[in-house]
Amino acid sequence: MDTQMSFQPEGPAAVGRSAISAYNPAYDPLVSPPGRGQDYAPTYWVATAGAPPEDDGPVHGDIDADVVIVGSGFTGLSAALTLARDFGVKAVVLEANRAVWGCTSRNGGQGQNASGRLYRSQWIERWGLATAKRLDAEIREGFEYWKSLVAQVDCDAQPGGHLYTAHRQKKMAFLQNEARVMREAFGYDTRILSQGELRERYVNDREAVGAMLEPDGVGVHPLKLAYGYMRQARALGVRIHPGSPVLGWRAENGGVRLQTPAGYVRARRVAFATGGYTAQGVNPLLDNRIMPVLSNSLVTRVLTPAERDAAGLKSTVFITDTRTLRFYYRLLPDGRMQIGSRSALRGADAQHPRHLALLREGLARKFPTLAGVDVDYSWWGWVDVSHDMMPRVTQPDPAQPVYYAFGYGGNGVAFSAHAGKRLAQRMMGKDGVAWDLPIYDSPLPGHMFAPFRRLGQGLLYRWYYLRDEVL
């Protein structure tokens, strides 16, 4: 198949090494073209990560490469690191904006032993116990691999597990069942905490009537971690080119030719790892196969010890509540509070004050003494949600040397490391006993109503609100 270019080049001049364009807060992957050299979103992570590592500047002129990775987030950097470390392949990483610009610099930093948006009980329902156990073993291996990378980088790691808090009494039955499944079917030391135990040991969330404690979970500073990946990869010869958006590609002479604004990049194999920031029209193998969803996040000013005590913040274990439109939150190492949840449907609406107000109200409901506390950082980012709620790391068309890893659904901080590793292994033709698992053996599913996804999303949000708060 000859895949035609989707955009015209902007001209022969390359973006200069120091040329950084303004951050576009209204970027929307369903309607916006790829950016070019945009500055970072104003996140807490960007403000506290230190200076970015050196990169290799934008592409300038035509170049050849064995392997090209499109996207310099967790997945792309992990893939490039694996290629260099395990196979001696010095990949070329192409990034539209600044290095580590997308979701990797905007997420909540919650590293869970999970992938996708389905619980393990749902794995059993969908694929049966035998496959669910194999999938669990794969995800667990990936979590251990991610922890080994975290141990190599100074990224403010906060171990201690993960808490699911029941925001209503009726949610306790769900947590009790999930804890039982995780113990009996998968062997985890998962426990149910009463409201009193939760408040005594962890947090006085006024909404929480109890919680499920998963022993596996590490909170991290995601941008410090990504910078660590980047330094390690470049030390092994990986080239990282920011300001070099892929505007389209075509199969050519058994390989792929990618178009950037200032030159063509020819590669034997290509992997796409652009997550929720994948613009429509750049790659037909991905069009309409991801539902980009905005998530909002805020970080408060530093809380005094007295304020933390009054709010009942006794632990830095990260927390997610049982809403479908969930809140995720934690106490950061420097004493600030972070909380995130859903945001706008469209990028054009992302700056509306009501989205920040939703987070402020959620924080105040959970911790009344923090109502009105000053917010130092507020931002939003696109999450890549697949239509069946599970990720894919695959070669969608065996006739083409094009691969991708997508669809983490907000659970990619940890799993992205393993996904990148598996992506590299697949590109190099390595045999693996895991390739027949559901996350590897099929492409991302499409959806017949994709053109109307935003309308459907709006209706679903209203239904989820009723189910979460009223029914």
- The 10s digit of each residue's pLDDT in 174-207 is 999 999 999 999 999 999 999 999 999 999 999 9
CA distances from 305 to 7, 24, 346 (A): 54, 37, 39
DSSP 53: P
Q: Give the count of alpha carbons within 13 A of 345, CB side only.
A: 11
| Average pLDDT taken over every residue of the chain | 94
The reported pLDDT for the residue numbered 447 is 82
Distance, in Å, from the CA atom of 180 to the CA atom of 79, rounded to the nearest integer, reads 35
pLDDT score of 5 more than 80: no
Instruction: Tell me which amino acid residue 260 is.
Output: T
pLDDT single digits (tens) 300-320: 999 999 999 999 999 999 999
More confident residue, 71 or 19: 71
- Predicted confidence (pLDDT) at residue 23 exceeds the cutoff of 90: yes
Reported confidence tier of residue 17, pLDDT bands at 50, 70, 90: low
Let me know: does 159 contact 218? Beta carbons within 8 Å.
yes
**pLDDT of 267 over the 50 cut:** yes
Residues in a beta bridge with 158: 219
Instruction: Tell me the pLDDT tens digit for each residue of 369-386.
Output: 999 999 999 999 999 999
Tens-digit pLDDT profile for residues 88-138:
999 999 999 999 999 999 999 999 999 999 999 999 999 999 999 999 999
Give the model's confidence band at 10: pLDDT under 50 very low, under 70 low, under 90 confident, else very high: very low
Q: Which residue, 251, 244, 216, 237, is CA-closest to 414?
A: 216
Average pLDDT over residues 251-273: 96
Which whole number is the average pLDDT over 429-437? Answer: 90
Q: What is the pLDDT of residue 157?
A: 98
| pLDDT attached to residue 431 | 85
Cβ-contact 79, 352 below 8 angstroms: no
What interhelical angle do 129-150 and 120-127 show, nearest 10? 140
State percent of the chain over pLDDT 70. Answer: 96
- Using DSSP, state whether 11 is helix, strand or coil: coil
| Res. 8: pLDDT tops 50 | no
Which residue's entry shows tokens 């931002």?
Answer: 379
Rounded distance between C-alpha atoms, residue 14 and residue 11, angstroms: 8
pLDDT of 12 strictly over 50: no
Please give the average per-residue pLDDT across 339-363, as a whole number: 97
Return the amino acid letter for 316: T
Judge whether residue 288 has pLDDT over 60: yes
Its pTM stands at 0.94
CB within 8 Å of 70: residues ≥ 6 apart: 76, 93, 94, 246, 258, 270, 271, 272, 273, 274
Q: What is the pLDDT of residues 269-287, one digit of tens each?
A: 999 999 999 999 999 999 9
Q: How confident is the model at residue 354 (pLDDT cuts 50, 70, 90)?
A: very high
**Please, what is the end-to-end C-alpha distance for the chain in angstroms?**
51
Per-residue pLDDT at 15? 37
Confidence grade of residue 395 (pLDDT, cut at 50, 70, 90): very high
Q: State the Rg of the chain over Cα.
A: 22
Look at residue 4 and tell me whether its pLDDT is greater than 50. no
Residues present in the chain in total? 471
Kindly report, residue by residue over 42-101, the tens digit of the pLDDT: 999 999 999 999 999 999 999 999 999 999 999 999 999 999 999 999 999 999 999 999
